[in-house]
Structure 1
Amino acid sequence: MKYLNDRCIVSADNVFYYDSEKEITLSDVMRFILENEQLAREYAKMRRYYKADHDAIVRALPKPNNKPDNRLVLNYPKKLVDTFTGFSVGKPVQIMLPEDLGNKSLSQFNVSRKMDSVIARVWKESCIYGRAYFYVYSHDSEIYVTDALPLDTFVIYDNTVAHKPLYAVRYGHIGNSTNYKITVFSERYQWESDTSRNTSNFGVRQANPFGMIPIIEAVENDERLSVIKNVLPLIDEIDKAMSEKANDVDYFADAYMKVLGAILSEDDLENLRNYRIINLKSRESDDPNETPESLDVDFLSKPNADTTQENLINRVIDNLYQVSMITNLNDKDFGNSTGVALEMKYKPMLNLATLKSRGFIESLKDMYQVVFASDLIENISREAWKDLDINFQYDLPHDTLSEAQTAQILANLVSSETWLKTLSIVNDPRQEQERIEQEKNEQMKANMQVLKQTNAVTDGDPNANSRTSQEKD
């Protein structure tokens, strides 16, 4: 625990807390901003690693004496993050309301605001930085949701056991100066400040139209530990080992030739380079009585450590996936695994995604609470966020035949919405249920039309034109 003063606290997990009985001041906000600027250096490092700019290998000291100095960057951070993100939110998250009208309005909002992409970005960013944010805002009487990065955004919680969000802060530098433009949100107000004005006041205050903080934190885990940070030493070791292996290849390509027992002139060296034929004598003299020296022509070589290097690289890569708990989809044994074996290979990543999704669902509900509080979405009340049904569709290998058989068995035991959830090909069970009912109604109308055209009995009354009725008459 770190105390910036008697009101401002920073936890061991870099979470900001403030005395809930005090009103925050601009100077206290600046203390938190300067602290977040220190954390932003680590966030920027994680972003560089994700973008294949690995500090340990790219910024290493150059090799002396013009030795081979390859700098290979194997972008495992991006592979880990993208694999985990694709597995968890590659398929759209199912977000539903129990009421048909409300669920239709929610679905239209999610499509028009591209919420699938927003959710995927926030998930990916939390993998990279350990935390990310949903930012709800209004524009032209419409409600929108976007993502915000921890490099310039943070939430301040109260110092009680509830850890309720008190304030949210977004800031940015004004040009190249050291001054900041700051926006602070509370449940009741939002302030716009500019530190270049040299004032201790917040500046312009406006009412918060949502009545709650519109910035919601989504975390990777309770410790805000990113996927990359967890395996950083292993990533650096892979880059180093592969670079040294490339240096060895360059060394053998530029190996020196040794010629012992003969003195070569410039013409001799030129002929060796041009014709690539070695035909030398040990002495310049042709005197047969003179004892010749032994002639030795060879390349200088150093010991080969290829096997040791390969074993090291394989072990480090294997531990990289084990420690990160991300499944290696490029494993050579992956394609030959049975269904049960595949499930066990996915189990660590599934456990990791399940744990993260619990907190992520809470963040999604908090985000929709702000969205619904705007009263800009038809047929959805302010309290509808409590009834949200949110389900993640993890991208596991599926046996569609087994799923169909299971769904067929469940069809007579549970509701149609429940058994539709067992089918991986169904993205939105509620909408699929509506489509099924619509198709049934359309088919029934078509059948009724056919019956009427064939003069069949459609309402239970005798048809005067039927043969049976005529015989009775």
Structure 2
Amino acid sequence: MATDKDPYALGQSINMLNGNRWVGGLIKANKQYMIPESKWNDIKNDPKEIIPILKYFLTQHYQYQLPRILELERYYKGENDIHFANINISSNRADNRVTAGFPKFITNTRVGYSVGNPIKFQYNEDKGKDDDLEEALAEFNSQNDEEYHEKVMKKNLSVTGRAYELEYIKQDTNEVAIRPIDPANAFVVYDTTIEQHSLFAVRYYLIDYQNQPKYYAEVYTDDSIYYFSDGKTPGSNLKLDNAEEHYFFSVPLTEYINNDERMGDWEASLDKIDAVDKAVSEMANSQEDFANAILKIVGDFDVTDSNGNTSEHPQIDRKNAIMWLKPEVRSDINGSSSVITPDAGYITKDVNVSEWKVYVDWLSAQIHKDTNTPDTSDENFASNSSGVAILYKLWGSDQERSIQESLYTRGLMRRLRVLGNYLEVTGQISSADDVENYKILYTPNLPKNDTETLQNAQVLANLGTESKQTIREVVQKYTGINSDTEEQRVEDEDKKDLDADPMQQVFKRVPDNSNENEPKDDDSKKADNPSMLDKIKGFFGGGK
């Protein structure tokens, strides 16, 4: 179906559901690049020696991996293969190309479910509090709009099966920044050890200025960045333009993976998505062909022109709503006459709508099943369902989410390590190893049931076995206020009330332990339980 020509060239040349989808097959289209570490260490500081290796990987990526990534990205945008398919349709037939929105629906659902609620970076204070690190990370996340950054990264993962993130220093500053890199423009080369450490990473891109296309490439090692200019195709004319050191002490471009196969969330269902596109498009064509069906006429026209001449087959005006027909009288060889009853109608193709619907519905159900994505349009999905029932319907999605969170955490921890290296070398924190004390927490973005949340919080409060902090964290789902912030608010309000009414401080410090159920005329009890007035006097010095 695909070719080894320019991966950006399309045209109506794709044979849908026919043969290999990717150039060179899936192995070459999704291969992880590796070279022996010893070979790389011998040449990594010599740009001239780097060029042959860079040329090889650039050529491999451009020819085999880029077409797959571009195709997955255009499917997410609604540019499915049906738009570019070589379909043999006669010129007098309708040629509608309708695409299903499964890729975008599945990806947006996954992204919203997994990172719709912000990721939490929780520091383990049992290991020793590091205020400088916590302050630096908070500022880093704020300046880089970390919440939105995670959504872009997860979208790239869902679509292409991989995502890339570059840490760099903003121009003319010492501030660290992060930026998601389009998977079509980047790759990482690893060593051949079992741990697969990053040896170097490449970002390459095309600039087409005044119809003069030219590629550029950047190579990131563990201590340097090499900038190369290139030709009209990657690897065709590499020349070193510049080189500079960085202080991350690790390759600053990180690859995240969606799963061990590095496949997108709906990539395995592309054939079914194409089948839905073809079925729906053919149905649209049949409907249009029916509206433009061939008119069949049996009998004679009662048509005479201004000269009194009649026409055996006059031109039909489709805009004319009235057509007069008359019976046709025919004589056979024996002189007998027969009358042909006039009739007019359309020649159409019978379409079994019910079977067509069953087929499309089956394909749609299989896509939802294969991708573990709930069909929210299903009337039975959430109607009259308890929270537990809905969770069971999301059980498959949760298994996928659990795996993806583990893999995403690996990328986040590498981000923190690279950041920690730079913060240590610039003297902003004492030790980069402290980033290992962070724990990454995820909160699935599920439909909220405020009543159930408040009821659960009330049950915990009544049990008396949970701390106020825990109860605040439960209620946080309803209020949206961080539990620490809520605790501070309560303390501030209590302090404000005490400042406004000092007598409340008295009652707080000297609680009334009297038993209201005891007889009030029991003098012995009165002696043991002084009145509140006596307590107040005692608090102020015992005056009478």
Q: TM-score range by the shorter chain?
A: 0.7 to 0.9
Distance in 1, Cα, partners of 2:94 & 2:187? 45
**Alignment match, 1:183:** 218
Residue deviations 1:285-322 (CA, integer Å, cap 9, x gap)? 9xxx9542333333323223211111111111111111
Distance in 2, Cα, partners of 1:271 & 1:130? 57
**Alignment match, 2:85:** 59
**Closer, same or farther: CA 144–454 of 1 in aligned 2, 3 Å:** closer
Contact preservation (8 Å) 1:186, 1:208: no
Contact preservation (8 Å) 2:227, 2:240: yes
Shift of 1:47: 1.2
When normalised by structure 1's length, the TM-score is 0.85
**Closer, same or farther: CA 111–386 of 1 in aligned 2, 3 Å:** same
Distance in 2, Cα, partners of 1:161 & 1:436? 47
Shift of 1:54: 1.1
Deviates more, 1:79-88 or 1:195-204: 195-204
Q: 2:98 aligns with which of 55, 62, 72?
A: 72
Deviates more, 1:117-126 or 1:171-180: 171-180
Matched AA of 1:91: N
**Closer, same or farther: CA 401–106 of 1 in aligned 2, 3 Å:** farther
Return the index of the structure with the highest Cα Rg: 2
**Closer, same or farther: CA 282–165 of 1 in aligned 2, 3 Å:** same
1:71-470 correspondence to structure 2 within 5 Å: 71-98=97-124, 99=129, 101=131, 102-139=133-170, 140-173=173-206, 175=208, 180-195=215-230, 204-262=242-300, 265=303, 274-283=320-329, 291-339=338-386, 340-375=388-423, 381-408=431-458, 412-413=464-465, 420-423=472-475, 425=477, 432-452=482-502
Distance in 2, Cα, partners of 1:331 & 1:150? 34
* Aligned residues: CA RMSD: 3.6
Identity of aligned residues (%): 21
Shift of 1:397: 3.2
Q: 2:74 aligns with which of 38, 42, 48?
A: 48
Matched AA of 1:353: R
Contact preservation (8 Å) 2:107, 2:159: yes
Q: Which runs of 5+ in 2 are unaligned?
A: 1-26, 45-49, 306-313, 511-532
Shift of 1:36: 1.1
Distance in 2, Cα, partners of 1:262 & 1:409? 87
Q: Which runs of 5+ in 1 are unaligned?
A: 1-9
When normalised by structure 2's length, the TM-score is 0.74
Matched AA of 1:186: T
Distance in 2, Cα, partners of 1:212 & 1:440? 45
Distance in 1, Cα, partners of 2:69 & 2:540? 86
**Closer, same or farther: CA 42–468 of 1 in aligned 2, 3 Å:** closer
Task: Give secondary structure in 1 for the equivalent of 2:326.
Answer: coil
Residue deviations 1:229-271 (CA, integer Å, cap 9, x gap)? 2211111111111111111111221122322233564767668
Matched AA of 1:373: N
Shift of 1:146: 1.0
Residue deviations 1:367-416 (CA, integer Å, cap 9, x gap)? 12212222279568522321112112112234333333444555654555
Aligned residue pairs total 458
